[in-house]
Structure 1
Amino acid sequence: MTEGHPHETARDVMNPGAECLPAHESLDRAAQLMRNGNIGALPVCDSDGRVIGIITDRDIVIKCVAEGRDPAQVRAGDLTADLVAVTPDAPLAEALSRMEEHRIKRLPVVEDDRVVGMISEADLARHLPDAQLAEFVHRVYAHG
Structure 2
Amino acid sequence: MPNARQLMTRGAECVGEEDTVLEAARRMRRLGVGALPICGADDRLKGMLTDRDIVVKALGADRDPATTTAGELAQGEVVYVDADDDARFVLRRMTEHKVRRLPVIEDHRLVGMVSQADVARALPEPDVGDLLEALSTD
TM-score range, shorter chain: over 0.9
1:84 to 75, 79, 83: 79
What's the TM-score, normalizing by structure 1?
Answer: 0.89
Residue 108 in 1 paired to residue 103 in 2? yes
Distance in 1 separating the partners of 2:85 and 2:119: 15
- 5+ residue gaps, structure 2, are none
1:97 to 71, 88, 92: 92
Alignment correspondent of 1:137? 132
2:116 to 93, 115, 121: 121
Alignment correspondent of 1:3? none
Identity of matched residues, %: 42
1:13 to 7, 13, 16: 7
Distance in 1 separating the partners of 2:98 and 2:44: 23
What's the TM-score, normalizing by structure 2?
Answer: 0.92
Q: Aligned letter for 1:21?
A: V
Q: Aligned letter for 2:27?
A: L
Distance in 2 separating the partners of 1:70 and 1:110: 31
- 5+ residue gaps, structure 1, are 1-6
Alignment correspondent of 1:60? 54
Larger RCO (CA under 8 A, 6+ residues apart): 1
Distance in 1 separating the partners of 2:120 and 2:52: 21
Q: Aligned letter for 2:11?
A: G
Q: Secondary structure at the match of 2:82?
A: coil
The alignment yields a C-alpha RMSD, in angstroms, of 1.3
